[in-house]
Structure 1
Amino acid sequence: MKKLGLLLMMMLAFVACNDDEKDQAVKEVKEKKLPPVEKEYGFVLNNYEVVKDTIKSGDFFGAIMDKSGVDPGKVYEITQKVTDTFNPARIVAGKKYMILKAKDSAKTPEFFIYENDKINYTVVALGDSIYAARRKRPVTIKKREVSGVITSSLSEAMQAQGLSNLLVYELSNIYQWSIDFFKLQKGDQFKMVYHEKYIEDTIFAGIEKVDAAVFKHSEKPFYAFRYLTDSISGKPSFYDSEAKALQSFFLKAPLNYSRISSRYTKRRFHPVQKRWKAHLGTDYAAPYGTPIVSTANGRVIASSYTSGNGNYVKVQHNSKYTTQYLHMTKRAVRTGQTVKQGDVIGYVGSTGLATGPHVCYRFWVNGRQVDPYRQNLPSAKHIEEELKDEYFAYIEPLKEELDQIPYKNI
């Protein structure tokens, strides 16, 4: 019996040792960390050899492919098959791209991914099945509230809170006919309810929309509410707390400018021709390539070039009003094309008789060239009487939300 008991004890000890060894082995497997799964553009990057780069000046699609080991015949085949979706001849310097290669000895390129912008990208399949597809990154919309106070400028007030300068553009655009942003006063206050776009919930991708705002300038509150009245165009406008349009029939300026470098005058010393002559336009200084927009709806009656005007566009808005935009580096519209207020018609340059980048904005009333700043220009259409009750019901909760946001003080 003693021998049997001793044998049982030895067997139990052996089993216990085996169990301990198994537990230790399981523990070691659990503790061994696997590489994190990396996903981008809908691909699991762990499955590929990944090349990330940026299009440089002088780069072209064929050269990029050649550097990655794609022969010229294959490049030609790809170009012919994907041009309707992705034009390889129009890749732009500064844009990011990625090449995914197979994890084989040849590291065969399988996909070329071109980032059109932060949200949109194009995937070009380079294998046996060649195709191109436009895709979007997942975007999350987040609602925000902000309050600020002016100490020196609107941009500094935004920067003080770590806010995007895009909000400066949004507020300037909303209030461009109500408030002169070059004459803001210290202590002026603003509040906004707006939405931001985020890629994959973390990467800021711009402003989606502004729902409502109030700007207290010289102690007077200017309310603004985004509201859609034209279901055909689908383009909302901003109205105040009395259902009056904040937008004018004409925009105050054809671009976001840094300064007015020369105003309308009957007598100005021309910096190129070196003589005194009338300057029947308003010059807005801005960096090369700044988008120039039509200040009102209309039809392009000229998109051309002359030695004096450089690249220019002329827009007829109705039988009474016509505008012209001079010295563009590039025109974006053609003669006969219909444009809406805010549509890009060209880009700031210095073509023609110009000493630096700017747009000369000219304005005609009944065929006579005038100073737009001295005109009593028509306002945009207010909300019609029969729609006001619906409008007031819509803005009521927005106004309450704005009013509950505390103003910031200096």
Structure 2
Amino acid sequence: MKKFVVFFIGLLILFSCGEDKKIDLPKTENLKASIPEIIYEFGYKLNDYKVIKDTIKRGESFGIILDRHHVFYPKINKIAKTIKDTFDVRRVRAGKPYMILAKKDSTEKAQVFIYKDSRATATIVDFQDSTITAYKYRKPIKVVEKEIAGEIYSTLSEAMDSLHLNPNLTYAVADIYAWTLDFYKLQRGDKFKLIYEEKFIDDTIFVGYGKVKAALFNHNRKDLYAYRFIPDSIKGIPEYYDEEGNMLRSQFLRSPIKFQYRVSSRYNLKRKIAYYGRVKPHRGTDFAAKVGTPIMATASGTVVESARRGGNGNYVKIRHNNIYSTQYLHMRKRKVRKGQYVKQGDIIGWVGMTGNTSGPHVCYRFWKYGRQVDPFKQKLPSAKPLKKSLKPAYLKFINPLEEQLNNIPYPEKKAPESVKILAQN
């Protein structure tokens, strides 16, 4: 009996001690917080290095930066010589961001230099081992298809800007319709729709536009379709065609200025100069634009004249073939020389006021069989049409795009200010 009592008392003491003595186990979230996050960037595990991020200052060089991070000049010279075909260290520019991956010890010696060319690309110089390497790195780009519709109230630029679209997309649209649409004649109420691509890195950082896959411009109540299509899979050069397979591009652009211009004076053989009270023919078309606006070759050809002379000021003349030639007068500066071959859309000079002119513009002159004519009254040759054998495949290709375009709603009409005021009253 005594033994049982002693055993029972021992159990009570044991349990009472167990209640008083609590063991604190670590919480799950504390365990997670204590495990460092593993970070990879540019293909490197950043946890293994001391990471230094900075921007190149004025007067700094590749050598100065590495020297500051404990790489000595004999090694710096060896790196520069080894990688010169991939990366010219003399071309590092002030303002560009860079990253140094250094040793995680007392020396903190640089092991990798990462020069950020752009938000999407970088040049990586790795010299942590005996082998020195340099290569280009491009961050994975996510391409997202977008749809947009807009209405013209003043200019294409203002309409695109109101939709918070980058000017680069405006230029792309202007290039697509450069042969078929006179942007000077856009009217209030004209509308457009676009199917295009936007590019992102890290899912959220916008790095530019991709392809404009399809477009629709409603001008003067007429629909002008444009579809991107590659007619030759070997050459891989895209062109834009309408809904019937006709190429939008023609042999000549409608204007030597992209789209920010106005026609200040047209071809007119009976033009009367008010100051002198006499008739003086104007055998050109004047496109008024700001000084410094780029002037484009309206078609491919060979420069036959590039000079400064008399009332023409700085001018360029291009022979396109045995039928057509064009001339561009009053340039601030010429970019091409005699004998040079230029392609359609190449910049040949900039708008100025040289020669006899009362304001900044380019006087565009057009020759046909050696006689100056009005380019807007000529039936100009188109580029090569889509081959008949490709047309069935093309029509099948554009069918879903056409349906997609037609289903994009135009923006709702904005009520005039007078209507808004009446509604408020």
Bin the TM-score by the shorter chain. Answer: 0.7 to 0.9
SS of corresponding position for 2:85: coil
Deviation at residue 389 of structure 1 after TM alignment: 2.0
Q: Which moved more, 1:292-301 or 1:210-219?
A: 292-301
SS of corresponding position for 1:208: strand
Q: Does 1:142 align with 2:137?
A: no
Deviation at residue 142 of structure 1 after TM alignment: 0.9
Deviation at residue 229 of structure 1 after TM alignment: 1.3
Looking at structure 1, the residues matched to 151 and 210 of structure 2 have their Cα atoms a distance apart, in angstroms, of 23
Looking at structure 2, the residues matched to 54 and 314 of structure 1 have their Cα atoms a distance apart, in angstroms, of 45
Deviation at residue 8 of structure 1 after TM alignment: 3.2
Aligned runs of 1:20-35 on 2, under 5 Å? 20-21=23-24, 23=25, 25-27=26-28, 29-30=30-31, 32=33
Looking at structure 1, the residues matched to 76 and 314 of structure 2 have their Cα atoms a distance apart, in angstroms, of 37
Deviation at residue 144 of structure 1 after TM alignment: 1.2
Looking at structure 2, the residues matched to 87 and 312 of structure 1 have their Cα atoms a distance apart, in angstroms, of 38
User: Which of 159, 162, 180 is 1:160 aligned to?
Assistant: 162
Deviation at residue 82 of structure 1 after TM alignment: 0.9
Looking at structure 2, the residues matched to 117 and 355 of structure 1 have their Cα atoms a distance apart, in angstroms, of 43
Deviation at residue 120 of structure 1 after TM alignment: 2.5
Change (3 A) 1:94 1:4: same
> What TM-score, normalized to structure 1?
0.76
Matched with 2:122 is: 121
SS of corresponding position for 2:54: strand
Deviation at residue 30 of structure 1 after TM alignment: 2.3
Change (3 A) 1:330 1:3: farther
Matched with 2:393 is: 390
Matched with 1:226 is: 228
Q: Does 1:83 align with 2:61?
A: no
Aligned runs of 1:43-122 on 2, under 5 Å? 43-46=44-47, 47-54=49-56, 56=58, 59-122=60-123
Looking at structure 1, the residues matched to 297 and 236 of structure 2 have their Cα atoms a distance apart, in angstroms, of 19
Conserved? CA contact 1:287–1:348, under 8 Å: yes
SS of corresponding position for 1:245: coil
Looking at structure 2, the residues matched to 361 and 307 of structure 1 have their Cα atoms a distance apart, in angstroms, of 16
Looking at structure 2, the residues matched to 297 and 45 of structure 1 have their Cα atoms a distance apart, in angstroms, of 52
Structure 2 counterpart of 1:174, which letter? Answer: I
Change (3 A) 1:398 1:129: same
Looking at structure 2, the residues matched to 252 and 75 of structure 1 have their Cα atoms a distance apart, in angstroms, of 55
**Alpha-carbon deviations, 1:121-140, whole Å to 9, x = none?**
21112444322101211011
Change (3 A) 1:10 1:62: same
Conserved? CA contact 1:313–1:345, under 8 Å: no
Deviation at residue 199 of structure 1 after TM alignment: 1.1
Conserved? CA contact 1:110–1:126, under 8 Å: yes
Conserved? CA contact 1:298–1:338, under 8 Å: yes
Looking at structure 2, the residues matched to 154 and 133 of structure 1 have their Cα atoms a distance apart, in angstroms, of 41
SS of corresponding position for 2:153: coil
Deviation at residue 285 of structure 1 after TM alignment: 4.7
Aligned runs of 1:169-318 on 2, under 5 Å? 169-253=171-255, 256=258, 258-259=260-261, 285=289, 295-298=298-301, 317-318=320-321
Identity of aligned residues (%): 40
Change (3 A) 1:31 1:77: closer
Count of aligned pairs: 396
Q: Does 1:133 align with 2:135?
A: yes
Change (3 A) 1:164 1:320: same
Looking at structure 1, the residues matched to 150 and 362 of structure 2 have their Cα atoms a distance apart, in angstroms, of 32
Change (3 A) 1:2 1:91: same
Larger Rg: 2
Change (3 A) 1:59 1:284: farther
Change (3 A) 1:31 1:85: closer
Task: List gaps (5 residues or longer) in structure 1.
Answer: 268-277
Change (3 A) 1:103 1:185: same
Q: Does 1:41 align with 2:42?
A: yes
Q: Which moved more, 1:363-372 or 1:222-231?
A: 363-372
Conserved? CA contact 2:70–2:107, under 8 Å: no
Structure 2 counterpart of 1:235, which letter? Answer: I
Conserved? CA contact 2:294–2:351, under 8 Å: no
SS of corresponding position for 1:32: helix
Matched with 1:270 is: none
Q: Does 1:404 align with 2:407?
A: yes
Conserved? CA contact 1:174–1:238, under 8 Å: yes
**Alpha-carbon deviations, 1:180-223, whole Å to 9, x = none?**
22332222222111221111222111111011111112222111
SS of corresponding position for 2:180: coil
Deviation at residue 293 of structure 1 after TM alignment: 5.8
Conserved? CA contact 1:263–1:279, under 8 Å: no
Conserved? CA contact 2:284–2:374, under 8 Å: yes
Looking at structure 1, the residues matched to 209 and 407 of structure 2 have their Cα atoms a distance apart, in angstroms, of 22
Matched with 2:422 is: none
Change (3 A) 1:180 1:261: closer
Conserved? CA contact 2:182–2:254, under 8 Å: no
Task: List gaps (5 residues or longer) in structure 2.
Answer: 272-281, 414-425
Aligned runs of 1:350-365 on 2, under 5 Å? 365=368
Looking at structure 1, the residues matched to 61 and 263 of structure 2 have their Cα atoms a distance apart, in angstroms, of 39
User: Which of 2, 7, 27 is 1:4 aligned to?
Assistant: 7
Looking at structure 1, the residues matched to 66 and 23 of structure 2 have their Cα atoms a distance apart, in angstroms, of 56
